[in-house]
């Protein structure tokens, strides 16, 4: 993933680093299996008149709610991202689409808003991280697909209904996609960004979406994205702001991505191994990272991020055309900070800060603060009742001899807070907790040419909201992120080597919620298994093969979705999907209809 390493001097810096590594540390650089990312790839003999390949991330379609009408679509921005690295984001004035104002005027409500990123590219190019902001609030964090000579197309759709408050107001759309184009890296990303809106005839339930969204990001003008860049373990990036004094609920939605030295943080050995083996080209500080979110002096929560592998990661041929889980649509992480409102309702500025435990350069982090306001009162009153945030528990067991060794890292953290808020809706008590655990085993063998990483992140969180008479909301979410990465380097001679890789990556998520808004249940099992080979020469992939199998199973009170898809050498070789929830299937209790060999579904269903 290109980031500051592809900065100023861009890939030249990478090549230089590699060159320095090769010159200074021929054996160390040669033997160490840390080539998780190849900055460019060139596969010979492509037929330039062949049709473009459609890349995609497997996800369930976004369905407009029953009885809603639409879409009414508005093009927000159209741009060709060529020489954009280190330049200001591309911006466009945002005016709420006329249909949105008209719907509000007739008492209808927004049922669904979908942001669609559609792009094409041809040639050769790095994978680039990009962000889309509306009035400073991040709406999409994503990574570009890597083009082929014959061209590629892809699209990403994200449900942005929760930003209704922002969509209703004039503002500014900003897109930062830092790209560099030269004789070698020819790909220009052509992009259309479109908003699709669907409406309900009736007004919305009052409490559904926030009344105000306050961006916790960097303000324009900037020659970068609006995210903060956290560069090391002591770096804290923050913003001070005040919130309306009639706030009665507050949720911080955090966006996170990791690049350059920490792109593959979960494979990093401790510094001691690096020093002992003089591996100056390898990233260290061990394999544990977490984002800490602070409001003033309180740790209000943490993010133990899903290990997104970008489209150039490990072996780029694994992610063509089925991209890595989350790479086109990075997950965001919610931290309910309502218990802390007692500290924030004084009309004064408070500091919202982000740090990353053990960070290496660089983490891009920002957040959207979703606020619910008491429309019947100018002032709400809060108090923090209890708060518990013991220090991170982190342990490392290891042993190594030369380049071979084993490192087992374990970690756990717990944060919980309870607070009450008095508003015209009564006195409401909110408890929010997070409970994390993590284990990572990192083994080097065959004189460091083989690395095997097996990691599991387990994150539980819950919100309980009650007033004096009833439970208003009780929600529990359990996420498990398994990851297995095998890489084997061989035939290393000078600047040439071969790499075999095997990657297993998944998200298992369950959530149950109950209370006044009714019961809901969601369960997702999303797993990828990818294997590939590649031959690399002078930092270019000269040949190789990748294959990927993905199974996505979603069951929820809002519907079901299933897809089982496999690809090999750029081609989809099997693809079954369905959306039936009927009972009776022997394995999952869910029966899915089969659409064998149907092309990838477009995620947005047109009414």
Distance, CA of 52 to CA of 205 (rounded, Å):
44
By CB under 6 A, what part of segment 332-391 binds ligand NAG?
A: none
Q: What distance in Å separates the CA atoms of residue 134 and residue 581, rounded to the nearest whole number?
A: 36
| Beta strands 291-295; 298-303: pairing state | antiparallel
Q: Which is nearer to ligand NAG, 273 or 372 (CB)?
A: 273
Beta carbon of residue 95, minimum distance to ligand NAG (angstroms, whole number): 19
Find the binder of ligand NAG among 2, 5, 21, 30 (CB under 6 A). Answer: 30
- Pick between residue 192 and residue 238 the one whose CB is nearest to ligand NAG: 192
Among 403, 417, 463, 524, binds ligand NAG (CB under 6 A): 403
**What's the start-to-end Cα distance of the chain, in Å?**
37
Residue from the set 21, 28, 291, 465 that interacts with ligand NAG by CB under 6 A: 28
Question: Shortest approach of ligand NAG to residue 433 CB, angstroms?
Answer: 24
Region from 27-35, 127-135, 284-292, 406-414 binding ligand NAG, contact rule CB under 6 A: 27-35
Which among 527, 540, 533 is positioned nearest to 566, based on CA atoms?
Answer: 527
Task: Name the minimum Å distance from CB 547 to ligand NAG.
Answer: 10
> Which lies closer to ligand NAG via its Cβ, residue 110 or residue 279?
279
Q: Which of 159, 172, 235, 458 binds ligand NAG (CB under 6 A)?
A: 235
Q: What are phi and psi of 87, to 5 degrees?
A: -105, 165
Instruction: Round to whole Å and give the CA distance between 317 and 532.
Output: 7
Interface residue with ligand NAG among 27, 395, 521, 589 (CB under 6 A) is 27
Q: Which residues make Cβ contacts (< 8 Å) with residue 31, sequence separation at least 6?
A: 403, 447, 448, 449, 489, 492
Collapsing DSSP states into helix, strand and coil, what is residue 543? strand
What residues from 537 to 556 belong to the interface with ligand NAG (CB under 6 A)?
545
Greatest alpha-carbon span in the chain: 73
How far apart, in Å, are the Cα atoms of 41 and each of 219, 401, 496? 35, 34, 13
Q: How many CA atoms lie within 13 A of 536 on its CB side?
A: 26
Single residue of 184, 208, 223, 278 touching ligand NAG by CB under 6 A: 278
Total interface residues for ligand NAG by CB under 6 A: 29
- Give the nearest distance from C-beta 192 to ligand NAG in angstroms: 4
Cα Rg of the chain (Å, integer): 24
In 3D space, the residue among 317, 259, 310, 309 whose CA is nearest the CA of residue 42 turns out to be 317
Q: Which stretch binds ligand NAG (CB under 6 A): 23-31, 53-61, 368-376, 586-594?
A: 23-31
Beta strands in 446-519 (DSSP E): 450-466, 471-493, 496-515
* Shortest CB 320 distance to ligand NAG, Å: 11
Residue with tokens 């702001």: 241
Tokens 């510094």 identify what position? 271
Q: E strand or H helix at 270, and its extent?
A: none
Q: Which of 232, 508, 511, 580 binds ligand NAG (CB under 6 A)?
A: 232
| Residue in 287, 265, 284, 289 with CA at minimum distance from that of residue 274 | 284
The secondary structure of residue 286, as a DSSP letter, is: -
Nearer to ligand NAG, 278 or 593 (CB): 278
Task: Name the residue nearer to ligand NAG (CB basis): 53 or 429.
Answer: 53
* Smallest gap from residue 449 Cβ to ligand NAG (A): 8
Q: Are 548 and 566 in contact (CB under 8 A)?
A: yes
Q: Which of the ranges 112-120, 216-224, 248-256, 587-595 carries the binding residues for ligand NAG, by CB under 6 A?
A: 112-120
We find the least distance from the C-beta atom of residue 582 to ligand NAG, in angstroms, to be: 32
Those residues whose C-beta lies under 8 Å from the C-beta of residue 391, and which sit 6 or more positions away, are none
- When asked if residue 118 is in the footprint of ligand NAG (CB under 6 A), the reply is yes
Please, which of residues 482-501 interact with ligand NAG by CB under 6 A? 484
Task: Give the list of residues 6+ apart from residue 272 with CB closer than 8 angstroms, or none.
Answer: none
Q: Which is nearer to ligand NAG, 473 or 480 (CB)?
A: 480
Nearer to ligand NAG, 91 or 232 (CB): 232
Using the rule CB under 6 A, which residue among 50, 95, 517, 573 binds ligand NAG?
50
Rounded alpha-carbon distances, angstroms, from residue 185 to 113, 315, 386, 535: 35, 18, 55, 19
Residue of 87, 190, 460, 510 that binds ligand NAG (CB under 6 A): 190
DSSP three-state, residue 54: strand
Nearer to ligand NAG (CB atom), residue 200 or residue 479: 479
Among 40, 226, 231, 430, binds ligand NAG (CB under 6 A): 231
**Residue list 243-262, contact with ligand NAG (CB under 6 A):** none
Nearest approach, Cβ of 166 to ligand NAG (angstroms)?
A: 24
Scanning residues 131 to 150, which ones bind ligand NAG (CB under 6 A)?
A: none
Residue written as token pair 């679509």:
73
Site residues for ligand NAG per CB under 6 A: 27-28, 30-31, 47, 49-50, 78, 118-120, 190, 192, 231-232, 234-235, 277-278, 403, 439, 447, 454, 456, 484, 504, 545, 569-570
């Amino acid at each position: 993933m290109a980031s500051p390493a592809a900065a100023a001097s861009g890939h030249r810096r990478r090549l230089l680093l590699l060159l320095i590594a090769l010159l200074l540390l021929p054996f160390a650089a040669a033997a160490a299996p840390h080539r998780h990312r190849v900055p460019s790839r060139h596969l010979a003999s492509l037929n330039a008149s062949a049709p473009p390949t459609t890349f995609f991330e497997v996800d369930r379609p976004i369905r407009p709610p029953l009885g809603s009408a639409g879409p009414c679509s508005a093009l927000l921005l159209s741009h060709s991202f060529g020489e954009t690295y280190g330049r200001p984001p591309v911006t466009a004035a945002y005016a709420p689409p006329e249909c949105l104002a008209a719907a509000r005027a007739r008492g209808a409500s927004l049922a669904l808003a979908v942001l669609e990123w559609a792009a094409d590219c041809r040639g050769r190019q790095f994978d680039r991280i990009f962000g889309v902001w509306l009035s400073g609030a991040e709406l999409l964090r994503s990574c570009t697909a890597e083009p082929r000579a014959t061209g590629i197309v892809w699209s990403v759709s994200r449900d942005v209904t929760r930003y209704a408050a922002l969509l209703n107001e004039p503002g500014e759309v900003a897109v930062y996609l830092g790209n560099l184009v030269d004789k070698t890296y020819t790909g220009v990303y052509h992009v259309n960004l479109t908003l699709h809106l669907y409406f309900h005839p009736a007004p919305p339930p009052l409490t559904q979406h926030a009344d105000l969204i306050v961006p916790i990001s960097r303000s324009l003008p900037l020659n970068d994205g609006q995210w903060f860049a956290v560069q090391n373990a002591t770096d804290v990036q923050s913003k001070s702001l005040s919130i309306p004094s009639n706030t009665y609920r507050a949720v911080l939605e955090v966006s996170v991505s990791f690049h350059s030295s920490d792109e593959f943080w979960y494979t990093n050995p401790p510094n001691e191994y690096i020093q002992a083996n003089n591996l100056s080209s390898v990233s260290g500080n061990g394999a544990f990272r977490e984002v800490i979110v602070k409001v003033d002096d309180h740790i209000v929560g943490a993010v133990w991020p899903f290990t997104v592998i970008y489209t150039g990661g490990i072996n780029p041929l694994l992610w063509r055309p089925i991209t890595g889980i989350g790479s086109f649509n990075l997950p965001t992480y919610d931290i309910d900070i309502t218990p802390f409102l007692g500290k924030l309702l004084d009309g004064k500025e408070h500091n919202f800060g982000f740090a990353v435990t053990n960070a290496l350069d660089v983490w891009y982090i920002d957040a959207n603060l979703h606020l619910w306001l008491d429309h019947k009162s100018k002032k709400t009153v809060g108090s923090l009742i209890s708060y518990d945030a013991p220090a991170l528990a982190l342990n490392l067991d290891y042993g190594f001899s030369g380049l071979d060794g084993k490192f087992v890292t374990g970690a756990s953290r717990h944060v919980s807070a309870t607070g009450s808020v008095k508003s015209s809706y009564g006195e409401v008590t909110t408890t929010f907790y997070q409970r994390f655990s993590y284990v990572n085993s990192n083994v080097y063998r065959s004189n460091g040419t083989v690395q095997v990483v097996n990691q599991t992140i387990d994150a539980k969180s819950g919100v309980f909201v009650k007033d004096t008479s009833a439970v208003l909301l009780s929600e529990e979410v359990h996420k498990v992120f398994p990851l297995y990465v095998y890489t084997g380097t061989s035939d290393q001679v000078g600047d040439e080597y071969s790499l075999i890789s095997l990657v297993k990556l998944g998200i298992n998520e369950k959530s149950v919620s109950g209370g006044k808004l009714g019961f809901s249940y969601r369960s997702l099992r999303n797993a990828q298994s990818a294997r590939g080979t590649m031959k690399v020469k002078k930092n270019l992939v000269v040949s190789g093969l990748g294959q990927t199998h993905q199974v996505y199973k979603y069951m929820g009170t809002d519907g079901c979705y299933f897809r089982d898809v496999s690809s090999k050498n750029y081609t989809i070789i099997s693809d079954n999907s369905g959306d039936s929830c009927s009972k009776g299937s022997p394995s999952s209790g869910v029966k899915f209809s089969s659409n064998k060999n149907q092309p990838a579904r477009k995620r947005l269903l047109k009414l």
